[in-house]
Amino acid sequence: MSGIRSKRRRSFLFVVAVVLAAANFALGQRAISSYEARNHVGEYSKVCGQVASTHFANRSRGAPTFINLDRPYPDQVFTALIWVEDRSKFGSPEERYADREICVSGVIQVYRGIPEIILRNPSQVQVTKTPR
């Protein structure tokens, strides 16, 4: 009986250690630049840069809002994307984040060769610098 308790205790401690390590990683995660994002595809990352252009494509399928970092469309190096079903949570993101320096967090994906993070919640965006 004590052998079973010992195994359960070790399993419990292992799970606690994994959860604490994951939380520590997420909280202490190093931010990467928009240019580095292509090297982190598939990873949960925090990507930072200057908003260079924004666009609400309300007539396109899914009515996406594009927030391009460091270089404007069509030469963007990274895009934060908000689909229409989540847009109301952000207000008018194309205005709210224009000309600001921001960090966005999420899993980096690639669409047509450009790394991107899909934003579902405003908590994924941190404004680090406002325009002068």
Residue 122 is part of a domain; what is its CATH number? 2.40.50.140
The total of structural domains in the chain comes to 2
Chain segment 98-114, per-residue pLDDT in tens: 999 999 999 999 999 99
Task: Give dist(CA 45, CA 105) in Å, integer.
Answer: 6
Q: What domain range is 84 assigned to?
A: 31-129
State the pTM of this model: 0.78
Q: Are residues 44 and 71 in the same domain?
A: yes
CB 46 within 8 A of CB 61: no
Q: Give the model's confidence band at 2: pLDDT under 50 very low, under 70 low, under 90 confident, else very high.
A: low
Q: Are residues 35 and 6 in the same domain?
A: no
Chain segment 17-62, per-residue pLDDT in tens: 444 444 445 555 789 999 999 999 999 999 999 999 999 999 999 9
Chain segment 65-92, per-residue pLDDT in tens: 999 999 999 999 999 999 999 999 999 9
